[in-house]
Structure 1
């Protein structure tokens, strides 16, 4: 039978899975709704999928992409996410007990970043960052294909940066996530147009702007400026060779150009760096690809230490 790996991307709504070879080619794939019933149902669903494909492929192990503050060495997920039952347990041990296979785990944003460095836009780039823009802002710092995790696993949590004026408002109300995420953009347009909260989504805002709506166009202009300010800070603090933008809105060319246009304005006789961003290459498969890469990077001699 062909050698392969089971890879899972654990999301709040769906669990995506794929059987992949060691070059990230999908041999089989699918998705199931993320169970609401709890951990045992979750574990059984994963196990059933693995056992089905073990009859068709020589499955060498399981690679997981997960939300939360993932301790890759212990298989433990801290923090919080939309799937509360995966937190506070050693997920890798539990799945190893059920399947008999080695299990690796990595944070989903880190997986997306690793995918870019392996076969994506940051291939052959030894130092880059990925910024993921969505409900909040997160990301990863990657040096020599290794995630910089930080002392408390908060490396790459760019959304916590305070980007507003701390004298004029509560500093914690002006973090980058709260002022420059897609969620913040949508809320701003709703407030300015006196619409009920939850009336719009990100696609609606872009559609309004394309139709000439002045509030939406102005809010988008502010949005690009606020993103550019945070990116400027990260460039001067970390000085990566490349800055990649991920999240759903990164697939819109006007977003990348809007950010880059604002970055071109952030120069003077002292701040002379030419700062640019580009979109991540991968979208839906990014977490699967990165989870597999993380699995393949774990030395055989170390595998019993983290599962």
Structure 2
């Protein structure tokens, strides 16, 4: 059995795991994301890898990272909550430090790959994974492969313009309307509260306890999510559309989105559009990062 050190890098924490080639977790933990610079980050990853090397024969390192990850060149373009990650060749730096093969991939793409490997999309070839959090990201998978696009922006569904574009140069993006962060801001404004006093869980609890204003905002939130989903179905026509992110753990949310999509069906929009929940939750990025590593290594051997 082969073993791998796998990392999911977020703005506040790095989740990491020792995993085998089937996607089984041997052990997992987390550590705060370094705030200093890229060298502190490399030190953190190296320390975890050295610890795992005391327990198993590590064959490689797989990382899920934010931003526009260039898997061919080994660096990250764009921007994220961790500025120092953008620019340096992370793949090269880690390989030189650890003497192990390294593969990197975008976090939302990792979530999508996990579902296609051993999750909710394992039986289909073409699917979309929409990750709803502070913003909206996602993965576009065609024939079991990530569709990255010319500028590495394939799957950046949150940039779709949805509302208020006639009287503005651009208008409101889907992320600004259908993300959890957007819901929190709208509820806070309506209730005269500070946004930092709320999170998605608390907002839904307020609705569950009968707050009609919050219920109204959630209804609008679900409609905005549903409109974006309908657009994607007609633009790409995938076999499945999956919803991920912490908010997807609410079973009633998926049900309400599907109910809304059903109500939007008419003579023009005749397709049966339905979404499912991603299977792996907080583990999806780790699983997908490992799968990406394995596929890259298999393809490398074939090409050689």
> TM-score scaled by structure 1?
0.95
Question: 5 Å matches for 1:105-124?
Answer: 105-124=104-123
Q: Deviations over 1:256-287 (max 9, x none)?
A: 01111110111211211110001100111101
Aligned counterpart in structure 2 of residue 197 of structure 1, from 178, 195, 199: 195
Question: 5 Å matches for 1:169-208?
Answer: 169-170=167-168, 172-208=170-206
**Within the alignment, does 1:132 sit opposite 2:108 as a pair?**
no
Q: Secondary structure at the match of 2:281?
A: coil
Q: Secondary structure at the match of 2:36?
A: coil
> TM-score scaled by structure 2?
0.96
Partner of 1:213: 211
Question: 5 Å matches for 1:75-90?
Answer: 75-90=74-89
Q: Distance in 1 between matches of 2:4 and 2:233?
A: 37
Equivalent residues, number? 302
- Alpha-carbon deviation of 1:55? 2.3
Contact kept? 1:71, 1:77, Cα under 8 Å: yes
Q: Secondary structure at the match of 2:27?
A: strand
Partner of 1:267: 265
Q: Distance in 2 between matches of 1:198 and 1:237?
A: 36
Q: Deviations over 1:144-189 (max 9, x none)?
A: 221000010000000111111422x425341111111111111111
Point out 4+ residue stretches in structure 1 off by more than 4 angstroms.
none
Partner of 2:24: 25
Partner of 2:243: 245
Q: Distance in 2 between matches of 1:171 and 1:218?
A: 29
Q: Distance in 2 between matches of 1:223 and 1:110?
A: 24
**Within the alignment, does 1:295 sit opposite 2:299 as a pair?**
no
- Alpha-carbon deviation of 1:196? 2.8
Q: Secondary structure at the match of 1:285?
A: helix
Contact kept? 1:162, 1:171, Cα under 8 Å: no
Partner of 2:233: 235
Partner of 2:95: 96
CA RMSD of aligned residues (A): 1.4
Q: Distance in 1 between matches of 2:103 and 2:123?
A: 24
- Tell me: CA distance 1:24–1:191, structure 2 relative to 1, closer, same or farther (3 Å): same
Q: Distance in 1 between matches of 2:203 and 2:296?
A: 43
Q: Which is worse superposed, 294-303 or 282-291?
A: 294-303
Unaligned runs of 5+ in 1: none
- Tell me: CA distance 1:197–1:48, structure 2 relative to 1, closer, same or farther (3 Å): closer
Question: 5 Å matches for 1:40-55?
Answer: 40-55=39-54
- Alpha-carbon deviation of 1:300? 5.2
